[in-house]
Chain A
Amino acid sequence: MTRVEGLLRELAPQVLGALVRRYGQFDACEDAVQEAMLAAADQWEVADLPDSPRAWLTAVASRKLVDAVRGDAARRRREETAAALAGLHPNAVATEEVSGEDDSLALLMLCCHPAVTPASQVALTLRAVGGLTTAEIAAAYLVPEATMAPRISRAKQQIRAAGARFELPQAPERSERLAVVLHVLYLVFNEGYTASSGDDLMRPDLAVEAIRLARMLHRLLPDDSEVAGLLALMLLTDARRAARTDADGRLVPLAEQDRSGWNSELIAEGSALVDAALAHPPVGPYQLQAAIAALHDEALDPADTDWQQIAALYAVLEHIAPNPVVTLNRAVAVAMLDGPAAGLRLLTTLDDSPLARQHRLPAVRAHLLERAGDRDGARAQYRLAAERTASTQERHYLLAKSDAL
């Protein structure tokens, strides 16, 4: 990310917030800000930055909005709207003081409106709050821009049709919406973390972007333990990134990773965050997952991993947020603690779950069967998992495991 790109992404939600607060019409404002950002990206790279980049962007975006509304009005003969906006002087907006912080939070909640499907919430959040261009988002998700652009437009239409307002929702809706925001940031991170790095330098780093947005959210809501928990989880997971694939891009499982390649700064920051968060109840799923990640990260040798605590934390997580994936992870921890047979017993409780059709259950079962000495059983389960995975890297890994038995 260049200096200008970094600055633009920082300013995007503030400028958009200022515009929406003044004019309403989230969808039109969002387009106008996107255009202003593209203009800025062109001009600022070659010339000096304006004195106040934020005022510059706000003024240019306002002009684009006026132009768009005038154009619309002409087409639809809505002179009244045009007249109302005609008196607008861009500098009037530029000097106006607005709270960029509150606006960013309101924007996040608007983009994560329940009327929009998760994939569209993600795309809209990356554009409106993250300041990414449609082309960058499309590249990140490996779809053409022609697929991503209508998805974003449609998300905005759905928000408008739902009558959503640009304001912070009141409790209890506020906490529900915040949960969606956290989930969207988690999805962005997950996509960035699990996708192959590839040689394509144009592909924006979604994990970095997710961490940036989570940091922003943590600044806005420093007392929310789940926000802190999510940020900690991202940092503690991202800390292992360099060791997660080998020189050929193949996956390296946690137990075999070169732990000297882990990022100790991120681990320290993430651990401190999660420790502080856990001191302030209620305890939530992100904090628990972060605490588990911290226990992995703090073990300098896999043999030093505190499986007892990890199994206990998964049990708490399973209790407050029951989910087959959590049970699966608990089975791994239990197997490390009490032997593979105990883990395999726990896995049988998942045979009727939605997980039974996916690759992760046979992959874990294969691993535990291998440890239990059942080579035929393990080989069959590795092959089954390889058939089911949607990741080429995982497929290679699982087939290699099967062949090695």
Chain B
Amino acid sequence: MKFLLVLRNNPALIDALAEEDKQRLMGGHTAFMEAIQVSGELIVTQALADPSQSAVVRVRNGVPAITDGPYVEAKEFLGGYYMIDVEDRDRALELAGQIPDASIEGMGVEVRPIMFSAGTLDV
């Protein structure tokens, strides 16, 4: 089963972290990535640039209008994600708990199933 482990960054919160915690956050991802690569569970992981680098495109009457900045002004932004293919939901939850972000006060990792052609035999 495929899941997206969604990482939400709060830039203000991360800035305020002690140096030690910042290191833990960074270094923890390297170890986590290696572990799920070796286990054959990692599909892809990507980190996104700072939300200030975003642009939002809106097309009205066929005319695109581009505004710089994120879609919604918020404290938290999509910072990146892991796409994984694992045995079941429990394993996805277990892996989410191993991501350093999950252990930082004020942060958490969202585990969301990927919608993909699956299903069952005819009833």
Interface residues of A (CB under 8 A from B): 117-120, 123, 141-144, 146-154, 190, 193-196, 198, 237, 240, 244, 251, 253-254, 296, 325, 328-329, 332, 360, 364, 389-395
Contact = CB atoms under 8 A, between A and B. Distances in A.
Contacts of A332: 123
B1 interface: yes
Contact of A194 (B40, B85, B87, B120): B120
B41 interface: yes
Contacts of A153: 40
B118 A193 contact: no
Contacts of B115: 389-392, 395
Interface of B: 1-2, 37-44, 85-87, 113-123
B119 A391 contact: yes
Contacts of B122: 237, 240, 244, 253-254, 296
Nearest to B114: A390
Nearest to A252: B122
A390 B118 contact: yes
Contacts of A194: 117-121
Contacts of A149: 40
Contact of A328 (B2, B43, B44, B123): B123
Nearest to A325: B120
A360 B86 CA distance: 21
A151 B37 CA distance: 9
B118 A195 contact: yes
B40 A196 contact: no
B88 to A, nearest CB: 9
13 contacts: A119-B86, A144-B44, A151-B39, A153-B40, A154-B40, A190-B120, A195-B118, A328-B123, A329-B123, A332-B123, A391-B115, A391-B116, A391-B119
Contacts of B120: 190, 194, 325, 360
Interface SS majority for chain A: helix
B89 to A, nearest CB: 9
Nearest to A254: B122
Given A147-B41, A195-B118, A391-B115, 20 more contacts: A119-B85, A120-B40, A123-B40, A141-B85, A147-B40, A152-B40, A153-B40, A154-B39, A154-B40, A190-B120, A194-B118, A194-B120, A196-B117, A328-B123, A390-B113, A390-B116, A391-B118, A392-B115, A392-B117, A393-B117
Given A194-B120, A328-B123, A364-B123, A151 B40 contact: yes
Nearest to A191: B118
A373 B120 CA distance: 26
B123 A147 contact: no
A332 B39 CA distance: 40
A190 B122 CA distance: 11
Given A154-B40, A390-B1, A390-B113, A147 B119 contact: no
Contacts of B117: 194-196, 198, 391-393
Q: Which of B41, B44, B118 has the most CB of A within 10 A?
A: B118
Given A117-B87, A390-B114, A143 B119 contact: no
Contacts of A142: 116
Contact of A254 (B1, B41, B87, B123): B123
B43 A150 contact: no
A147 B82 CA distance: 13
A394 B121 CA distance: 12
Q: Which of B41, B44, B114, B119 has the most CB of A within 10 A?
A: B119
Given A332-B123, A390-B116, A118 B39 contact: no
B85 A143 contact: yes
Q: Which of A237, A240, A394 has the most CB of B within 10 A?
A: A394
A340 to B, nearest CB: 14
A147 B113 contact: no
Contacts of A244: 122
A150 B40 contact: yes
B40 A148 contact: yes
A318 B53 CA distance: 58
A190 B117 CA distance: 12
